[in-house]
Chains A and B, each alone.
Chain A
Amino acid sequence: MTLLPAQPTPKKLGLVIDLDVCVGCHACVVSCKEWNTGGYGSALSDQDPYGAEVSGAWLNRVHTFEVIPEGAEIVGEAGEARIVHFPKSCLHCEDAPCVTVCPTGASYKRAEDGIVLVDENMCIGCGLCAWACPYGAREMDLAAGVMKKCTLCIDRIYNETIDEVDRVPSCVRTCPANARHYGDLADPSSAVSIMVAERGGMDLMPEQETLPVNKYLPPRPRKPLADSAHRLPLAETTDGAKGFFAWLDGVLDRI
């Protein structure tokens, strides 16, 4: 049993992920892997990397769902089916069950900024935290035998050896679609908090009462094309091209 810091932490650093523009390209997934395999803690290992049972430890994955929302647009003939690309990593919950379940104190939530980390020196690889996390956001590194998770690139965001503009998580810096944003969600005036307020940012699985720091922005409303069909001006009375050419002559006279 590990204690959480006093709530709330003065800063709540986290991610805001915009599902309106995520195209599922996996840029964030691989950038995360390459930063973190050489960064905080042990490498993110890959087992059987060129073989049949290839697998590895990743701190961020994109899941793709097909959904048919109620009352949505009907476009083309394929009905309402939509594809949602859903990136998922640790949500740095305020009430993090992965921390309280940890028997050694390896899992902890930082008091100053709310980042949830694993101290690999103390981790015994028991896996209880992964069971406790309702989001499946932790992955065991099979080579090191320790639990790996998103660190919010803690070795980037406070890293004084890199340019200030680059002191953001690797996934945020690399996202080509600008679907990932990083900031302090405890500060209502931060860009991410404003974004969440304006776009109706949501908690993932709020019924779990984990109070995730990360937020998801839902897709913006979409207007069916068919609604515009009536806006096209009616053709002037004409059979084919004759009336058109009369109109054209009029236009040319005015140019």
Chain B
Amino acid sequence: MNSTSRVALSEPVGDEVRKTTCYMCACRCGINVHIKDGKIRYIEGNRDHPVNRGVLCAKGSAGIMQHYAPARLRAPLKRVGPRGSGEFQEISWDEALGIATGWLDGVRQSDPKKLAFFTGRDQSQSLTGFWAQQFGTPNYAAHGGFCSVNMAAAGIMTIGGAFWEFGAPDWDRTKLFIMFGVAEDHDSNPLKMGIAKVKKNGARFVSVNPVRTGYSAVADNWIGIRPGTDGLLILAVVHELLKARKIDVDYLMRYSNAPWLVVDAPGTAEHGLFARDVEGRELVFETVTERIVPRGTVGARPALSGRYMLGDGRFAVPSFQLLAEKYLHTKYAPEAVAGEIGVAVDVIRGLAAEIARVAFDEAIYIDQPWTDMNGERHESFVGRPVSFHAMRGLSAHSNGFQTARALHMLQVLIGAVDCPGAFRFEPPYPKPVEAHPTPHGKAEHFGSNKPLSGPHLGFPRGPEDLLIDADGKPTRLDKAFSWDAPVSVHGLMHMVISNAHAGDPYPIDVLFLYMANMAWNSSMNTAGVIKMLEDKDPETGEYRIPKIIYSDAYASEMVAYADLVLPDTTYLERHDCISMLDRPISEPDAVQDAIRWPVVEPDRDVRGFQTVLLDLGARLKLPGFVDHRGRALYSDYADYIVRHERRPGIGPLAGFRGPNGDRVGRGAANPDQLKRYIENGSFFSAHIPLEAQFFKHANKAYHDFAVRMGFFDTPQPVTFQLYQETLQKFRLSAEGLREPVAPETHRKRILDTFDPLPFWYRPFEEEIVDRQTYPYHAITQRPAAMYHSWGSMNAWLRQIHTKNPLYVPGPICDELGLVDGDWVFLTSHHGRIKVEIARMEAVNSSTIWTWNAIGKREGAWALDRDSPEARKGFLMNHLINELLPPKGDGMRWSNSDPITGQAAWYDLRVRIEKAEPAELSEPRFAPVSEPGRPAKKPNELRYGQEWAK
């Protein structure tokens, strides 16, 4: 039989390919969307795209099912039943925007802080933040506070940039890649591509993670650490490196504040701060002339140890002296920490040995002369090819800020920041703290009918920048930038609903949320939060949180709690910009941003949220959204992307600027800009000259480039802040030595945790609860097929993870006689869940875990009520409270990092007991109705059958 005749081999894939940017998670890959007969035939990675180079993950390929999901909202909704019932009436956009404008205008005229605007899975923060600033409320943030602010704050405050998506390992050159606390991450495809390269190149890949899933599974070495103890492991490695003298002294001297002199004058307001000259320049001790000179003095050879008298008779020591003394202490020896972290001494020492060997014995050199910010010429770039990546496993603990600081300190000590083979910055990073704004939201920063006087979020330089009133009370609803969490640079979204409900520090009128499932998996204490959203003031009969506006594309659990729902489009129907003003898609060697555009038209009455926000801004006549006659400045988001200028010549997109589209970074608005992006595959890339590609923190050619591109108006070099003076300022306030003085209630906490040098302390929950009563850790991970995805109801993805078992370590199973399919009670100080288990060996023996955000509320997400997600799926959130248990000091502290306010999801301690077999996980919640008209849900899908050959 001639088999070739039996198959059609050369059919065109579709009628047209439209190139846009994926939004199935935060990775922002380029995609080719093949359109056939007006429908989506096939989505594949764009080979030319710098992020994914053609590959695409499971979520990206499942975009078809996301787009056609029955869970999609169809029209604006007005609540008609009680909150939580899911009973809504579909209304017109005119009516919806009229209602929203009425509510918001009232607030803006009377008391703008009564609007709290918080966004979840937002990729347009430069717009949403700008809108909130022009509205004038101090209460705006995105979801960083419950995501990974520890990572961002520690990174920026220590090295001028963070892991996240602000930098990446030098995948092609690294010889040792060490990853902490990452099951999956924003850079999901680049991580997979990178790990494959590392392994192909014969480099070693070490993964530190209590659970051996995904990436850890292919690691050469898996360190199954006990949750919350990573900082101690890192400091033990630092101890070993110092003892072995395996540090890069030249690098430290040039690029860090190691030589800066720290005033040693206990009991004074300057103790522990840097010594400065009259011009405010930090001082160092010059060893040849034996004089104290400003840092950066040409030709100076600064001391890294010793004790020196300053001009005013006080003494000071180089900060490195304090650092070395601290970590050479035997309390950081592997033998001293092995028990606490649950890792063998030889493994710790072996890790230190490999870091030392690769950094110094396998150094690499790129023969490219370059000039540093001091004007000194270097013949080559020296690479210490040890690279790190870290994320939520480090940061979602109440000691996460100091732990992330410890990791960055380790990078600097071995000279492995932005050099060949190491972690490298992605423009516009690095960026020193001084180039970031301070936070705005003090009483004098806002008022009736006027914009906030500056950006909401920023970096406090000291207690003087806190957003507090004269009595020390918070001025923001989430209490960000207050004594509770002074460096909460991303806000505290996880505290918004509970604070608004309690009217502490004040009640609000309108809660406005975008794409944040706060009534389910994005809140701690989910059942409690649901009650708060439903709770009414018995005197007035009004909801405690009177008005809730919510925008989402899907019938998530949160929709049922909104009074007004603004239905968003899918990512394939909208304009977006992945902007240099926000979180671009740059790579270490290139400046890059991207767009989305409507590759298919909406088939229903939905609008892109950003266009709606611009419309609301115009209706409210917010400055920046209307002209002097009160007419809307922008017709829609696409128009804003092209014409908005944040500074003259600087807009949301860096590419194809100027009248001819040939200007990069700075340039006049170009009406054809979006067309040019689309022709280019929906992204823009400008390569950094080789001379400027490394040592960006101190590279003159890079800073000239950055100024040309418009990242900065003047060069902004970064000196790595191993010793963190800002933290010391807070300690001085806590000692009563510096204004504003910290309140008595907060002094001990600040003194205990604001060490200017990284250190480790036990996570708060573990410290407070009885370790015998709650002997185990409980954590969550998100599976690669659903990471950061708004789509676990997706018909294809849910077949991969339909329910989430509780994974229990083998030894615990043996002790309790548990086998797969048994049911258990898992109990914390706050709550109890009843769930089904599965045994697992490749996990830290004191760590119980599950996949997050698979469990659904019955009726939500247009899934059948008897779906496994609702029957057996569950959330760990029910065990986690937004407040720590009382510890006898009369305070109920937030379950957060004391410095940044990062939600301490992974501090959870539990006990486990066998339960009777069951069919339903607990707790149970009343089912929600589908919002609006019930979706048509097929009993069977045969997607693409019309194209069958």
Contact = CB atoms under 8 A, between A and B. Distances in A.
A68 B56 CA distance: 31
Contacts of A248: 249, 304-305, 324
A122 B654 CA distance: 57
B57 A244 contact: no
Contact of A20 (B199, B246, B798, B864): B199
Nearest to A240: B328
B171 to A, nearest CB: 12
A31 interface: yes
A231 B55 contact: no
A22 B799 contact: no
B11 interface: yes
A77 B793 contact: no
A229 B346 contact: yes
A35 B12 contact: no
A68 to B, nearest CB: 7
A75 B222 contact: yes
12 contacts: A27-B55, A29-B58, A39-B949, A43-B944, A43-B945, A49-B937, A111-B3, A159-B9, A161-B13, A179-B196, A225-B350, A235-B244
A75 B224 contact: yes
B325 A33 contact: no
Contacts of B44: 31, 170, 173-174
Contact of B10 (A158, A173, A230): A158
A238 to B, nearest CB: 8
A183 B307 CA distance: 68
Given A78-B845, A173-B55, 11 more contacts: A25-B214, A30-B785, A46-B941, A50-B867, A76-B224, A83-B213, A110-B4, A174-B61, A177-B193, A228-B354, A229-B346
Contacts of A207: none
B947 A245 contact: no
Nearest to B70: A50
A165 B864 contact: no
B192 A78 contact: no
A77 B245 CA distance: 29
A255 B249 contact: yes
Given A47-B940, A177-B192, A232-B349, A161 B12 contact: yes
B31 to A, nearest CB: 11
B351 interface: yes
Interface stretch (A52-60, A89-97, A186-194, A208-216): A52-60
A21 B195 contact: yes
Interface string B319-335: 00100110011100000
A46 B945 contact: no
A113 B497 CA distance: 63
A45 B941 contact: yes
B1 interface: yes
A240 B841 contact: no
B912 interface: no
A21 B324 CA distance: 39
A51 B249 contact: no
A21 B56 CA distance: 16
Contact of B328 (A26, A58, A159, A244): A244
Interface residues of B, number: 125
B779 interface: no
Interface of A: 20-27, 29-31, 33-35, 37-52, 54-56, 58, 66, 68, 73, 75-79, 81-85, 105, 108, 110-112, 117, 119, 142-144, 154-155, 158-162, 165-166, 170, 173-179, 219-220, 222-236, 240-241, 244-245, 247-249, 251-252, 255
Interface in B180-219: 188-189, 192-193, 195-197, 199-200, 204, 206, 212-218
A63 to B, nearest CB: 12
Contact of A25 (B58, B938, B941): B58
B217 A77 contact: no
Contact of A161 (B11, B213, B350, B796): B11
Contacts of B1: 105, 108
B301 interface: yes
A47 B940 CA distance: 5
Contacts of A38: 36, 41-42, 943-944, 947
B938 A26 contact: no
Interface in B849-873: 862-864, 866-868, 871
B243 A75 contact: no
Contact of A252 (B199, B304, B937): B304
B357 A50 contact: no
Contacts of B785: 25-26, 30
A24 to B, nearest CB: 6
A245 B218 CA distance: 41
B868 A244 contact: no
A50 B937 contact: yes
Contact of B249 (A54, A233, A252): A252
B240 A30 contact: no
Contacts of A24: 213-214, 217, 784
Nearest to A247: B245
B293 interface: no
B289 to A, nearest CB: 14
A82 B42 contact: no
B193 A176 contact: yes
A24 B243 CA distance: 40
